[in-house]
A = this chain, B = another copy of it.
Amino acid sequence: MSSPITIKDIAKALNISASTVSRALKDHPDISRETKKAVNDLAAKLRYKPNAVALSLKNSRTNTIGVIVPELVHFFFSSVISGIEDVAYDAGYNVMVCQSNEMYSREIINTQALDSNRVEGALVSISKETHDFAHLLYLEENGIPLVFFDRAPEELDVDKVIIDDYKAAYNATTHLIETGCKRIAHLAAPQTLGIGIQRMAGYKKALEDHGITYREDWVIEADSFELAGDATRNLMHLPTPPDAIFAVNDMTAVGAMKTLQRMSIAVPQKVAIIGFSAGFFSDITTPTLSSVDQHGYEMGVEAAKLLLQRIETPVEGKHKTQYIDTHLVLRESTKRKN
């Protein structure tokens, strides 16, 4: 192999001084963001390796943002990650993603790993099992800014980018009512999770505002493709089965749809279905799935922007809660309004 790339090579290629390159690589405040980006990009491309002795651990930066998500398989979370990445890479940061797999214990290990890998900031959506947040708050106490997205602790003073789950669920349920449905079931997320509580509350409030009695036997905790099967069969075997299902996410909605079809129950004529997150799935089922669009990509963009801001200027005083708008995407699994 040829001799290793030096700071002088980078300086020559960019037509700037070696000391500018050196300071850019050390993220010196005197150097402009543009120059830093140009230097870092070229350094990455040429696989420049700084002399390990010259760069002390304390002064080096990893330029890495750590992300913890519950499950990568959800289209929603991959959209959020795309949004995060577009902002982060533009600003010269790398993004590393850990998956808690909905486990509290793994989320703790993930957090520990972000810390020991010296990430410069963390973006976190909590697992279903997480009710204690000490492991996450620890990051911020140790100088690693932290922004929650989608699933955030309800009552803590933390930075978060979320949707108004209550309002979105209210709107989805109201749409079912306005298209003539009267017996509306809800396949719900665990009622320990903030989004589960909020979406349930929005569902109940919509029923109440339209004079429809809430019935406990029409609400089942089921929030996955697999769980939706049994839940839907149970609902349809009730003496008074529902004529619509509001599902807490799209995978659950699709599970309900496939089950109804296997039972030869027409969607939306006999039972209308609306999901939550308007992911890729909603386009590929037959009928296509009506859903609440959570704008995952935009959520990722805003969460990353807020985090970069916190990395530059640590928060003083109260943290920020930022809402991402949602809207209903009406496709074929719900009826038309008259």
Q: Which residues of A contact B (CB under 8 A)?
A: 44-45, 47, 57, 60, 62-64, 66, 71-73, 75, 78-79, 81-82, 85, 89, 94-99, 101, 105-106, 108-110, 112-113, 116-118, 134-135, 138, 225, 254, 258, 261, 280-281, 283-286
With a CB–CB cut-off of 8 A, which chain B residues contact A109? 44, 89, 94
Other A-B pairs beyond A47-B138, A72-B78, A94-B98, 13, CB < 8 Å: A44-B109, A45-B108, A47-B112, A72-B81, A94-B109, A95-B98, A95-B99, A97-B97, A117-B118, A225-B284, A258-B284, A281-B284, A285-B286
- Name 13 interchain pairs, CB-CB below 8 A, sorted by A: A44-B109, A47-B108, A47-B112, A63-B113, A64-B113, A72-B72, A72-B81, A73-B75, A82-B101, A96-B117, A97-B99, A117-B117, A261-B286
Most central of A44, A96, A261 by chain B CB within 10 Å: A96
Chain B neighbourhood of A95, CB < 8 A: 98-99
Top 3 A-B residue pairs of the complex, sorted by shortest distance between their CB atoms: A94-B113, A286-B286, A73-B78
Q: For A117, list chain B residues within 8 Å (CB).
A: 62, 64, 96, 117-118
Complex interface: chain B residues within 8 A of A64 (CB): 113, 116-117
Residues in B whose Cβ lies below 8 Å from that of A135: 47
**For A112, what are the chain B residues with a Cβ–Cβ distance below 8 Å?**
44, 47, 94
Q: Report chain B residues within 8 Å CB of A89.
A: 106, 109
Chain B residues with Cβ under 8 A from A66's Cβ?
A: 96
Determine the distance from Cα of A99 to Cα of B77 in the docked complex, in whole angstroms.
13
